[in-house]
Structure 1
Amino acid sequence: MKKQVLTGIKPTGRVHLGNYIGAIKPALEFAQNEEYMPAYFVADYHGLTKIHDKEEMNLLSRGIAATWLALGLNPEKAIFYRQSDVPDIFELSWILACFSPKGLMNRAHAYKSIVEENIEIGREADTGVNMGLFTYPILMAADILLFQTEIVPVGRDQIQHVEIARDIVESFNHTYGDTFTLPQYVIEKETAVLPGLDGRKMSKSYNNTIPLFEEPKKLQKLINKIKTDSSPPGAPKDPDASVIYSLYKEFATDIQTSEMRNRFLSGISWGEAKKELFDVMNVYLEEPRDRYNELMASPEKLNEVLLQGAEKARKKTRPLLQEVKRKIGILHS
């Protein structure tokens, strides 16, 4: 039996390098291995915790789908779907909510950070918190568990969500017997937290991202904004401490990466390093960028692919949901 792998990206902004390096790239690598059955999804209902504009939600969701396909995802060899097209997920989410202590949700990082920030500036603790954000980890657990997912590739800041899903599994299985698979997370250690333009974690929240399919001139301008230290040309530079080198090695060949490492140690100037980064990224992304633009201009084609994927997904999710409903006494047939 192939191991089930699942990865989703929520449409709360344009796909950026952090998404690609931390989630999409390692997830796509699973598709190259015959031992795994990958499932990839557009997490549009997760995005609803922040995006409340119809046109923006539609555009961003299409962007996520187009990105996966442009980067080489073959929907014939994976389950590729839009979260909102699989209603079983949301039915299970309510069931799991009834096995999720409020205290567990209180400890979720996203909720805690908002509460702490509110208290720090003298606002009510729950200002700006909607129930979708508060129960976000439960919906994510439903995403994972309904596919009997064994492996969840995540960034370091998402580990807690998988741990919460494991807690929910243990509670449900203890009550009703062996039902859900206990998921495991995997992270790319070297790229778990990718720095953004300002040196902080690359995040839409910080407005410090580099969109993956930015057109060349804008891409070059953004790369030129990457924060560096004050070491002059000719001074040795630590490649392992450099955002530029971290990005470069994700798009370069092994030979190019080795050569660039030596140039850092020999004192390459920051201007030259940024130019080399742009050159290697632009070559690597040229073909996927063209494919992405074609897909974004063909929303009907994207929708067709996603609806076919949703039907494939429901063939997997419906039987498990029926089993769960029988176990809890909701389904009587």
Structure 2
Amino acid sequence: MTSTRVLTGITTTGTPHLGNYVGAIRPAIAASQDPNVQSYYFLADLHALIKSSDPARMQQSRREIAATWLALGLDTDNAVFYRQSDIPEIPELAWLLSCVCAKGLMNRAHAYKAAVAENEEGGVPDPDRGITMGLYGYPVLMAADILMFNANRVPVGRDQVQHIEMARDMAGRFNHVYRGEYFTLPEAVVDERVQVLNGLDGRKMSKSYDNTIPLFVSEKKLLKLIRKIRTNSLEPGEPKDPDSCTLFQIYSAFATEQESSDMRRRYAEGIGWGEAKNELFEYLNAQLAEPRERYQALLEDPGHIERVLQQGAERAREETTVMLDRLRSAVGLGRFV
């Protein structure tokens, strides 16, 4: 029986925060431990070049994100964990797909259209000013990531569904032009149950808003950040609404159902904001202490991280080299013997 193939990319443009953990990392790590699923997790460092031109920050982000996933228990025996840039067959496949992909399809990509709209709204004479081919061709590289491994399912946020549809379009076009079943048509998986955490200011936790709580900050820094979370002016003893409170939202994302129910009752009884923040800190710190220690140990041993990623790349390339040889032959670039 063929197992389901699930693929997830992690863009290396920052330091993982609590929102990343709850929304993507935790469910993905759980899936990595399912023997009925063949999981592919990769550091999308080629994609990150679209947004980042700081080599030192890029290197740091790649190291931090890899250490985060390993510290939190990613099963690298079952899942294939690799760096995108270690798989040269992927950008080559992106070129093959580019040669069957209609330009009009790329013109409709949300990110490209948003960049053009921003220029037009700003009165810029050239609507394409500042737009690189990396941004424009991003959906093709993403399609190559997915189609190289013939992934069946790709967990994404709703804003990324268009890219999966584009990958399906490119896969179907390639299959049609070269008269074969080379690619599986992937399905987008949008889990509406995935939690989106609010940040320090009450908006969605996001690096772009500078309102995040990094996952593995020190105890002292974690307490300082939690104390900065915005609350209202209700005094201790006054009932508070947990459903509109960032403190409760973060707490319940980590707590058991019974613990959340107990904390909800304390909000109704008028828990003070200072006490609620201290409770959140103590709870999070207790849960993060052991993985934080493993994370720090991994950062101090980059050679171990490198070995894990190289082992993952070797496993990935056992598939990608075979796949690309087949595709080269399909398009007329195969060997003469």
Q: TM-score w.r.t. structure 2 length? A: 0.91
The residue type equivalent to 2:313 in the other structure is A
1:75-154 to structure 2, matched below 5 A, reads: 75-123=76-124, 124-154=126-156
Q: Which moved more, 1:75-84 or 1:101-110?
A: 101-110
The residue type equivalent to 1:307 in the other structure is Q
How far the C-alpha of 1:206 sits from its partner, in A, is 2.0
Is the CA contact (8 Å cut-off) linking 2:11 and 2:43 kept in structure 1?
yes
How far the C-alpha of 1:172 sits from its partner, in A, is 2.0
Q: Which moved more, 1:160-169 or 1:90-99?
A: 160-169
Counterpart position of 1:6: 7
2:300 counterpart (297, 301, 306): 297
Q: Distance in 1 between matches of 2:123 and 2:92?
A: 37
1:181 counterpart (166, 184, 193): 184
1:156 counterpart (158, 173, 176): 158
What's the CA shift string for 1:241-271, capped at 9, x where partnerless? 3332332122223321221233334443333
What's the CA shift string for 1:183-209, capped at 9, x where partnerless? 122233233543322233322222222
Are the structure 2 counterparts of residues 9 and 121 from structure 1 closer, same or farther at C-alpha, using a change threshold of 3 Å?
A: same
Aligned length: 333
Counterpart position of 2:252: 249
1:171 counterpart (170, 173, 197): 173
Is the CA contact (8 Å cut-off) linking 2:112 and 2:136 kept in structure 1?
yes
Q: Distance in 1 between matches of 2:199 and 2:168?
A: 31
What's the CA shift string for 1:68-102, capped at 9, x where partnerless? 10000122221011111111111111111122222
> Do structure 1's residue 26 and structure 2's residue 9 form an aligned pair?
no
Q: Distance in 2 between matches of 1:56 and 1:183?
A: 32
Based on CA coordinates, which of the two structures has the bigger radius of gyration?
2
Q: Identity of aligned pairs, percent? A: 54
1:207-222 to structure 2, matched below 5 A, reads: 207-222=210-225
What's the CA shift string for 1:103-155, capped at 9, x where partnerless? 22222222222222222222342233221122111111111111111121223
Are the structure 2 counterparts of residues 20 and 122 from structure 1 closer, same or farther at C-alpha, using a change threshold of 3 Å?
A: same
Is the CA contact (8 Å cut-off) linking 1:156 and 1:187 kept in structure 2?
yes
RMSD of Structure 2 on Structure 1 (CA):
2.0
Q: Which moved more, 1:322-331 or 1:185-194?
A: 185-194
Q: Distance in 1 between matches of 2:62 and 2:298?
A: 12
Are the structure 2 counterparts of residues 97 and 297 from structure 1 closer, same or farther at C-alpha, using a change threshold of 3 Å?
A: same
Are the structure 2 counterparts of residues 193 and 125 from structure 1 closer, same or farther at C-alpha, using a change threshold of 3 Å?
A: farther
Q: Which moved more, 1:322-331 or 1:286-295?
A: 322-331
Is the CA contact (8 Å cut-off) linking 1:5 and 1:39 kept in structure 2?
yes
Counterpart position of 2:36: 35
Are the structure 2 counterparts of residues 234 and 77 from structure 1 closer, same or farther at C-alpha, using a change threshold of 3 Å?
A: same
How far the C-alpha of 1:10 sits from its partner, in A, is 1.2
Counterpart position of 1:194: 197
Q: Distance in 2 between matches of 1:157 and 1:117?
A: 18
Q: Distance in 2 between matches of 1:232 and 1:115?
A: 48
Q: Distance in 2 between matches of 1:274 and 1:99?
A: 55
Matched residue SS, 2:188:
strand
